[in-house]
Amino acid sequence: MRSPELRLDIATVCLSGTLDDKLAAAAAAGFDGVEIFENDLLVSTWAPREIRARCGDLGLSIDLYQPFRDFEAVPPDVFEANLRRAERKFDVMQQLGADTMLVCSSVSPDAVDDDDLAAEQLHELASRAGERGIRIAYEALAWGRFVNTYEHSWRIVRRGDHPALGLCLDSFHVLSKGSDIAGIRVIPGAKIFFLQLADAPKLRMDVLQWSRHHRLFPGQGAFDLSTFVGTVAATGYAGPLSLEVFNDVFRQSDPARTAADAMRSLVILREDVSNTGPVQVRERMRVADLSTVSAPAGYAFVELAAPAPAGILAAMGFVHIGQHNTRPIQLWQQGDARVAVRAGVSERIGALGVATSEPLVAAQRAKRLLASGMSDVDYDDPAVTAPDGVGIVFVRPEGDWMADFTPPEPGMVVNTCGITGIDHISLTEPFDDFDQIALFYRAALGLEPEPEAEFAAPFGLIRSRSASDRDRRIRIALNVATLRRGHWAPAVLDPQHIAFTSDDVVTTAMAMRALGAPLLDIPGNYYDDLDARFALPPERLDLLRSYSLLYDRDEHGEFLHFYTHMLGSRVFFEVVQRIDGYAGYGVVNSPVRMAAHRQFRLANAPARE
């Protein structure tokens, strides 16, 4: 028998707004159906029949009504009242055209620890539901009073033994408890009535708080959703993949944006399961039109807009090698590092030129991951816009794109300072979009996440997350201020930088200083601490100190780096040297860099009127 098409659902609780905002957003993002969260219905001005009609107009089915709470294992009088309450909800569901009701395990003080009673009462509920064509999906909440594991909920469903009684599996409840998911394999797929998906960051906290405030869409947290979905799908489960994410930020965010992020996350999850999951589920999970990503060949260029960058670039040894034939873009180069300087827009990294053997395919993939297209006024090559507004231009490694640039007068001065290429770019993202943006870059460029870091900067905590391809040709570091409160922090909006590579950062720093490059001075305390921590040879330490070079070390090797001043108020450059495969980004030195930038700005601020 062929299983029905895979359906993708989202719970209305994931999205902000009124029920109509939520439904419109879910439909626009391409979802097939929704879980109606009871509260969203209760506050709606639409009667259940009108909600059904609206969903019909939008092409959405209502696949679950939820939650029905505190039903089972109660004394007879409470049981009678609960059955009556359930019948009223069945009425609503019939008007909605919803055929599955989620019953979550009881947290009620009325409940008793008695599996037989729970099973018997759920059996009775299911037989009443069954008469109305409704099914009961029983879900173990991780904080359920007596039933809080999927194994326990399955024992009760089996004992309840009714065709209209089955399980709801929710990845959060299962994975937050560290349960062994191998036990899912013995559950017949037909008895799994519904599958809810949520990721979450690793946090040590009360599981209810964790669930109600910190859930994330798949791929944005620390859970292995791919193995979980593969395992459930391998039972023969034929229902929807449904996102159920309780998240404080999403509850306040534009629902259209959240729904698109949610859909992207499902696309990426399906791709993962279709590549690595059990063989029998791979085809079912496959995403149509999602081409595989070929490894990027590196940064072809980074497009930058900044106030008068030519002076700094020249002082860093870059050469102006071309002017775009039709656009206000100058190309500057040193070694394999190319900076496309765009005139006339606000200070920012505008686009990443990513070299890849199949630019069109790469752009199609990014669009399938819900990137918006980039206007072709900007680039002739296939290009998209990442969710943070940064363009990604896919060009061939051969460099044909450079044919659009006319070289300037011959006989230009070449002052190379030893820069060989682009190591990484670093962007500061808004807190609210951080996880989605990180996931997008990873999936669109085929990058793998690197360890996350958190550090105390002068004006607050910064979380830093980076990703790179396997060959380390493309590295992206994303930073976020974990909170933004009040007006004390300086108005440096979302700093961004380009880090160039050098094979000999000392020589590069010397050459740049000789050319008058505005390099950032690092205070002496930093070097005293380096001495304490690393016991570097005194001559080496002196060299670092005299050129304001920063230093770090990991289990692979060493890292030397230095920074320029801000070009205007947000963009700056870094030069790095990785020795013996140092894998990080010198994040421990970021607070020193930030304080130094702040110091410089204060010292050079125009005097107040």
Ligand X SMILES: O=C(O)c1ccc(O)c(O)c1
Tokens linked to 482: 């974990």
* CA–CA distances in Å: residue 504 to residues 235, 549, 578: 57, 12, 9
> Was 87 annotated as part of a binding site?
no
Report, in Å, the least distance between residue 454 CB and ligand X: 27
Q: From the list ligand X, Mg ion, none, which binds 67 (C-beta under 5 to 8 Å, kind-based)?
A: ligand X
The single-letter DSSP state of residue 2 is P
Comparison of 3 and 39: residue with beta carbon closer to ligand X: 39
DSSP-assigned beta bridge partners for residue 104 = 139
Taking CB under 5 A as the criterion, which residues in 230-249 touch Mg ion?
244
Residue 425: name its binding partner from ligand X, Mg ion, none (Cβ under 5 to 8 Å by kind): none
Alpha helix stretches (DSSP H) within 161-289: 171-176, 207-214, 225-233, 255-276, 279-285
The 115-154 contact track toward Mg ion, x by CB under 5 A, reads ----------------------------------------
- Least Cα distance to 243 among 387, 35, 36 occurs for 35
Name which of residues 274 to 303 contact ligand X (CB under 6 A): none
The listed partner (Mg ion, ligand X, none) that binds 271, CB under 5 to 8 Å by sort, is none
Which position among 66, 106, 334, 466 is part of the footprint of ligand X (CB under 6 A)? Answer: 66
Which residues in the 254-313 window bind Mg ion by CB under 5 A? none
Q: Is residue 212 part of the contact set for ligand X (CB under 6 A)?
A: yes
Residue 387 DSSP code: T
Q: Which of residues 147-166 bind ligand X (CB under 6 A)?
A: none
CB of 197 to ligand X, least distance (A): 11
Query: Is 574 annotated as belonging to a binding site?
Result: yes
Residues contacting 395, CB < 8 A, separation 6+: 300, 353, 354, 355, 356, 359, 381, 401
Establish whether 244 is an annotated binding residue.
yes
Residue of the chain from 17, 48, 67, 255 that contacts ligand X (CB under 6 A): 67
In degrees, rounded to 5, the angle at the alpha carbon of residue 232 between the alpha carbons of residues 231 and 238 is 140
Residue type, 327: R
Label the pairing between strands 496-502 and 33-37: unpaired
* Cβ nearer to ligand X, comparing 12 with 466: 12
40 is an annotated ligand-binding site residue: no
Q: For residue 17, state whether it binds ligand X (rule: CB under 6 A).
A: no
Is 38 annotated to bind a ligand? Reply is: no
When binding is defined by CB under 6 A, the residue of 9, 124, 139, 552 that contacts ligand X is 139
Q: Which residue, 104 or 340, is less far from ligand X as judged by CB?
A: 104
| Tokens of residue 580, six digits | 């013996």
Minimum CB–partner distance for residue 71 and ligand X (Å): 13
Residue 477: contacted member of Mg ion, ligand X, none (CB under 5 to 8 Å, by partner type): none
Least gap, CB of 123 to ligand X (angstroms): 21
Structure tokens at 156: 């009760």
Check: CB of residue 138 under 8 Å from CB of residue 103: yes
Backbone torsions φ then ψ of 516, nearest 5 degrees: 85, 25
Q: According to CB under 6 A, which residues from 222 to 281 bind ligand X? A: 244
- Binds ligand X by CB under 6 A, chosen from 24, 27, 98, 102: 102
Of all residues in the shown chain, the one whose CB is closest to ligand X is 67
Q: Is 170 in the site for ligand X (CB under 6 A)?
A: yes
Nearest to 41 by CA among 62, 59, 71: 62
Binding to ligand X, residues 435-454 (CB under 6 A): none
User: Residues 148 to 177: which contact Mg ion by CB under 5 A?
Assistant: 170
Half-sphere CA count of 440, side-chain side, radius 13 A: 29
Q: Which is nearer to ligand X, 149 or 428 (CB)?
A: 149
Closest approach, Cβ 56 to Mg ion, in A, equals 25
Binding partner of residue 498 among Mg ion, ligand X, none, CB under 5 to 8 Å per kind?
none
C-beta of 104: minimal distance to ligand X in Å? Answer: 5
Instruction: Assess 196 for contact with Mg ion (CB under 5 A).
Output: yes
Would you say 136 or 393 has its CB closer to ligand X?
Answer: 136
Q: Is 180 annotated as a binding residue?
A: no
- Picked from Mg ion, ligand X, none, the partner binding residue 391 (CB below 5 to 8 A depending on kind) is none
Is 297 in contact with 313 (CB distance < 8 Å)?
A: no
CA triple 586-314-424, angle to 5 deg: 25
The minimum distance between CB 137 and ligand X, in angstroms, equals 9
Between 434-445 and 359-368, two packed helices, what is the crossing angle to 10 degrees?
Answer: 150
Question: Among candidates 16, 6, 138, which has minimal Cα distance to 71?
Answer: 138
Burial class (CB in 10 A: 0-12, 13-18, 19+), 20: middle
Residue 40 found at the interface with ligand X (CB under 6 A)? no
On whether the CB atoms of residues 175 and 228 are closer than 8 A, the answer is: yes
Contact between 498 and ligand X by CB under 6 A: the answer reads: no
Residues 216 and 247: beta-carbon distance below 8 Å: yes
Closest to 63 in 3D by CA, of 215, 148, 168: 168
424 is in an annotated binding site: yes
**What minimum distance in Å lies between the beta carbon of 199 and ligand X?**
13
The 8 Å CB, 24+ separation contacts for 185-190 are 185/231, 185/234, 185/235, 187/154, 187/235, 188/235, 188/236, 189/235, 189/236, 189/237, 189/238, 190/166, 190/236, 190/238
- Residue 211 binds ligand X, judged by CB under 6 A: yes
- Please report, as ranges, the residues that interact with ligand X according to CB under 6 A: 66-67, 102, 104, 139, 141, 170, 196, 211-212, 244
- Please report, as ranges, the residues that interact with Mg ion according to CB under 5 A: 170, 196, 244
Q: Which residues are annotated as a binding site for a divalent metal cation?
A: 139, 170, 196, 244
Q: Which residues are annotated as a binding site for Mg(2+)?
A: 424, 497, 574
